[in-house]
C-alpha cells in the first residue's frame, strides 16, 4: 500500500527564523502541498542549553507570516503528538532500552557515578549508502562512523536518535533538510535498520552562499538573514515566499515571479539544485518591487502608513497619502523605503541643481515663475486645480513645451524630471511651493 506523503519541518527553537530554515520549511511545505500530503511542524528542543524563550512562537509566527500553514504541530496538535521532543522523553527511553536489550547500544558510565550515556554500537563492515533526492547515490561506510551518543547521561536523547524515533512514529515519508545533515544520515539509517523500520527518502538541499560565494553565516553582517527583519523593513510575505522558493529550486519556464499557487503546482523535487544557491539581494529587492507594483494604491497606502507614522511624518489626509504612494510606488523596493523617498521629495534644504538652474537662466524663466506663483496663490491646491494653471501660465507668458513644463518643475522640485507635476505640487503643499518659487526667482534675478 502506498502511504500518504508526510513531510516535516523540525526546527530547534534556538532563535528567530533564519532564511536557511525558512527555506527548509518552505520546500517541505511545497512538497506536501504539491503531492497532496501532510506537513508537520515538530520542535526539536533536546539541546536544552541552546533553546531560547519565545523561540518556538517566533518560528511559528514567522512561518505563518510567510504564508505557510501546517496540518500538525505543537500549537495545533494532531494524531501523532506530542510534537515537542522534550514531551516525548518516555518514548525515546522505551526505544533506547530496546536497542540496549537487542545489543545495538551500550551504556557508558561516567567516572565514579551511576550516571551513564548510551552509545549506538556501530557495526564494523556495512554499507550505509542512500539515494538522495537531490544528489543521487551517496555512499557511506560504517567503518567511518564512530559509536555515537544516543542518549546523554541526563537522560535526554541526542538529535540523531530522537529524529529517527519521531520520523518513524510520525510516519514521515520524505525528509528534506539542509546539506549539513548529510553526514548525520548514515547514523540515522543505522537506527532504522536496528529497529527494523523502513528508511524514509532523504533529500539534502544545497547550501546558501553570499555574493562572494561564501557560505551564508548568521554572523555575516552584510546580509540580512532573519525573516522578521524583512518583515519589519516592509518586504511583502508573498515576495519573500517567491524569492525563497528560488533558493535552490527553479521553475521550468522563464517566469520567476510566481504566486504561491503557481509554485505549489510547478514544484518538482527533481529540479532542486545541487549547486549552491546564491542569496542575491538585488534579486530580492527586484522581486519585492514587482509585488509592490501589483498592489492597489489603497492597499499600498495602508501598508505604508505605519512606516510614515513611526518616522513622525504627519499624514494630512487619506487622499494625500494615496497621492504620495501613487507617485512613489514605482520606486519602492520595500515599504519602509517610503520614509526615505518621502524625505528626498520634501527635502527642506531645497536646492536647484546646477544644470537645472542653467535651464532657467537660458530660458529667462523669471516671468514665467512669477506668473505661475500668482495663479497658485489664489488657487485651491488639488492636482485638478493646479493642472489648468500650468496651461494658463503658458498662455499668459506665451511659453509652451519644455520651457514651460520643465521650467515649472525645476523651480518647484529642483529636478528636471519626476512624477506628475500637479500631483507633486499638491503633495508639497501651497506654502512650500510658493516658498520654493520665491527662492528660485530671487536666485534668478541675482543672475541677470
Ligand atoms: N532540528 C534539526 C535542525 O534544525 C532538524 C534537522 C532535520 O530536519 O532532520 O537542523
Give the domain-ending residue among 305, 328, 345.
345
436 in contact with ligand 1, CB cutoff 6 A: no
Q: What is the pLDDT of residue 220?
A: 87
Indicate whether residue 44 lines ligand 1 (CB < 6 A): yes
The helix/strand/coil state of 155 is coil
Residue 184 lies in a domain: no
Is 80 exceeded by the pLDDT of residue 1?
A: no
| C-beta contacts of 87-94 below 8 A and 24+ residues apart | 88/162, 88/165, 88/166, 89/155, 89/156, 89/157, 91/165, 91/169, 92/151, 92/157, 92/161, 92/162, 92/165, 93/151, 93/155
Do both 217 and 274 map to the same domain?
yes
Cα–Cα distance, 243 to 256 (Å, whole number): 9
Residues 266 and 337 in one domain: no
Choice between 31 and 221, residue whose per-residue pLDDT is larger:
31
- Residue 224 is placed in which grid cell? 540580512
Extended strands (E) in 50-123: 105-109, 116-120
- Domain contains 133: no
Query: Under 8 Å CB-to-CB from 89, ≥6 apart: which residues?
Result: 155, 156, 157
**For residue 51, what pLDDT is reported?**
94
* 361 lies in the same domain as 338: no
Burial (CB < 10 A; 0-12, 13-18, 19+), residue 94, is exposed
| Side-chain half-sphere CA neighbours of 102 within 13 A | 14
- DSSP class of residue 379? S
- Determine, yes or no, domain membership for 83: no
Helix, coil or strand: residue 202: strand
- Bridge-based pairing of strands 136-138 and 130-132 is antiparallel
Domain co-membership, 378 together with 442: yes
Grid cell in block for residue 333: 523596493
Residues 6+ apart with CB under 8 A from 275: 206
* 309 and 326 in a common domain: yes
CATH number reported for the structural domain that contains residue 406 in this entry: 1.10.10.350
Average pLDDT, the chain: 95
92 falls within a domain: no
CATH number, residue 322: 1.10.8.70
Q: How confident is the model at residue 217 (pLDDT cuts 50, 70, 90)?
A: confident
Are 379 and 310 part of one and the same domain? Answer: no
Instruction: For residue range 47-93, list pLDDT tens digits in order.
Output: 999 999 999 999 999 999 999 999 999 999 999 999 999 999 999 99
Same domain, 328 and 399: no
Q: Of 387 and 217, which is predicted with more confidence? A: 387
Residue 201 belongs to some domain of the structure: no
Question: What pLDDT does residue 448 have?
Answer: 61
Q: Is 10 in the pocket of ligand 1 (CB under 6 A)?
A: yes
**Model confidence over 91-121: pLDDT tens digits?**
999 999 999 999 999 999 999 999 999 999 9
**Is residue 100 domain-resident?**
no
Residue 3: predicted pLDDT = 79
374 lies in the same domain as 364: yes
Q: Is the pLDDT of residue 127 over 60?
A: yes
- CATH code where residue 3 lies: 3.40.50.620
Q: Count up the domains in the chain and report the number.
A: 3
* Residues 342, 264: Cα–Cα separation, whole Å: 38
Per-residue pLDDT tens for 169-203?
999 999 999 999 999 999 999 999 999 999 999 99
Residue 149 lies in a domain: no
At 344, the pLDDT band (50, 70, 90 cuts) reads confident
Chain center to CA of 275? 21
Residues 300 and 283 in one domain: no
Cα atoms in the Cβ-side hemisphere of radius 13 Å centred on 261? 0
Ligand 1: centre distance to CA 150 (Å): 16
Distance 322 CA to ligand 1 centre (A): 45
Answer yes or no: is the C-beta of 12 below 6 A from any ligand 1 atom: yes
Atom from ligand 1 closest to the CA of residue 8? 8
Q: What sign does the dihedral 208-210-212-215 (CA atoms) show?
A: negative
Active site residue 218: yes
Helix (H), strand (E) at residue 19: helix 19-34
Q: Single out the residue in 294, 309, 328 at which a domain terminates.
A: 294
Please write the tens of the pLDDT for every residue from 17-35: 999 999 999 999 999 999 9
Going from the Cα of 166 to the center of ligand 1, the distance in angstroms, rounded, reads: 12
324: containing domain: 295-345
Q: What average pLDDT does range 120-149 have in this prediction?
A: 96
What share of the chain has pLDDT > 90, as a percent? Answer: 93
User: Of 345, 363, 381, at which residue does a domain stop?
Assistant: 345
Q: Considering only residues 203 and 344, tell me which one the structure prediction assigns the higher pLDDT.
A: 203
Task: Indicate whether 262 and 335 sit together in one domain.
Answer: no
- For residue 82, whether the previous peptide bond is cis, meaning omega lies within 30 degrees of 0, is yes
Cβ-defined contacts of 29-34 (< 8 Å, 24+): 29/68, 29/70, 30/245, 30/263, 30/264, 30/267, 31/5, 31/7, 31/174, 31/176, 31/267, 31/269, 32/5, 32/6, 32/7, 32/71, 33/264, 33/267, 34/264, 34/265, 34/267, 34/268
CB 330 within 8 A of CB 366: no
pLDDT one-digit tens code per residue, 253-269: 999 999 999 999 999 99
Kindly indicate the confidence band of residue 351, based on its pLDDT and cuts at 50, 70 and 90.
confident
Catalytic-labelled residue, pool 143, 218, 310, 353:
218
pLDDT at residue 403 is higher than 80: yes
* Cβ–ligand 1 contact at 181 (below 6 Å): yes
In a domain, 186, yes or no: no
The verdict on 366 and 431 lying in the same domain is yes
CB 4 within 8 A of CB 39: no
pLDDT-derived band at 243 (thresholds 50, 70, 90) equals: very high
Per the listing, cell 514521515 goes with: 172
The rounded percent of the chain whose pLDDT value lies above 70 is 99
Question: Which residue among 11, 13, 56, 205 has the greatest number of ligand 1 atoms within 8 angstroms of its CB, and so is best to mutate?
Answer: 11
Best of 177, 179, 199, 200 for a ligand 1 pocket test (most atoms within 8 Å of beta carbon): 177
Same domain membership, residue 318 and residue 271: no
Amino acid at each position: 500500500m502506498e502511504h500518504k506523503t508526510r513531510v516535516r519541518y523540525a526546527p530547534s527553537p534556538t532563535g528567530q527564523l533564519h532564511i536557511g530554515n525558512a527555506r527548509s520549511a518552505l520546500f517541505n511545505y511545497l512538497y506536501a502541498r504539491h503531492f497532496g500530503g501532510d506537513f508537520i511542524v515538530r520542535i526539536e528542543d533536546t539541546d536544552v542549553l541552546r533553546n531560547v524563550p519565545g523561540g518556538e512562537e517566533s518560528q511559528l509566527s514567522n512561518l505563518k507570516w510567510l504564508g505557510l500553514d501546517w496540518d500538525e504541530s505543537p500549537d495545533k496538535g494532531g494524531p501523532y503528538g506530542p510534537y515537542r521532543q522534550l514531551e516525548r522523553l518516555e518514548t525515546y527511553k522505551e526505544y533506547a532500552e530496546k536497542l540496549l536489550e537487542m545489543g545495538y547500544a551500550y551504556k557508558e558510565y561516567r567516572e565514579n557515578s551511576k550516571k551513564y550515556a548510551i552509545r549506538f554500537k556501530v557495526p564494523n563492515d556495512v554499507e550505509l549508502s542512500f539515494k538522495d533526492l537531490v544528489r543521487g547515490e551517496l555512499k557511506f561506510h560504517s567503518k567511518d562512523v564512530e559509536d555515537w551518543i544516543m542518549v546523554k547521561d541526563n537522560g535526554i536523547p541526542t538529535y540523531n536518535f530522537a529524529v529517527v524515533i519521531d520520523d518513524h512514529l510520525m510516519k514521515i515519508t520524505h525528509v528534506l533538510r539542509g546539506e549539513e545533515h548529510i553526514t548525520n544520515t548514515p547514523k540515522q539509517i543505522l537506527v532504522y535498520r536496528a529497529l527494523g523500520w523502513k528508511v524514509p527518502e532523504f533529500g539534502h538541499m544545497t547550501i546558501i552562499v553570499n555574493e562572494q560565494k561564501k557560505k551564508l553565516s548568521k554572523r555575516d553582517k552584510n546580509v540580512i538573514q532573519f525573516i522578521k527583519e524583512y518583515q519589519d523593513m516592509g518586504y511583502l510575505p508573498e515576495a519573500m515566499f517567491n524569492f525563497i522558493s528560488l533558493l535552490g529550486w527553479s521553475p521550468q519556464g522563464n517566469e520567476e515571479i510566481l504566486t504561491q499557487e503557481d509554485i505549489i503546482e510547478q514544484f518538482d523535487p527533481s529540479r532542486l539544485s545541487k549547486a549552491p544557491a546564491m542569496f542575491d539581494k538585488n534579486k530580492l529587492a527586484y522581486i519585492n518591487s514587482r509585488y509592490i507594483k501589483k498592489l492597489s494604491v489603497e492597499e499600498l497606502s495602508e501598508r505604508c502608513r505605519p512606516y510614515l507614522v513611526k518616522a513622525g511624518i504627519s499624514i494630512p489626509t487619506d487622499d494625500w497619502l494615496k497621492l504620495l504612494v501613487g507617485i512613489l510606488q514605482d520606486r519602492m523596493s520595500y515599504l519602509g523605503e517610503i520614509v526615505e523617498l518621502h524625505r528626498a521629495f520634501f527635502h527642506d534644504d531645497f536646492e536647484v541643481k546646477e544644470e537645472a538652474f542653467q535651464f532657467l537662466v537660458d530660458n529667462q524663466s523669471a516671468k514665467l515663475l512669477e506668473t505661475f506663483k500668482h495663479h497658485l496663490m489664489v488657487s485651491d491646491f488639488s492636482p485638478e486645480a493646479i493642472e489648468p494653471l500650468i496651461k494658463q501660465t503658458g498662455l499668459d507668458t506665451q511659453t509652451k513645451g519644455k520651457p514651460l513644463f520643465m521650467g515649472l518643475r525645476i523651480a518647484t522640485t529642483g529636478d528636471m524630471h519626476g512624477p506628475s507635476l500637479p500631483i507633486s505640487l499638491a503633495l508639497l503643499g501651497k506654502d512650500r511651493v510658493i516658498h520654493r518659487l520665491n527662492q528660485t526667482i530671487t536666485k534668478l534675478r541675482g543672475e541677470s
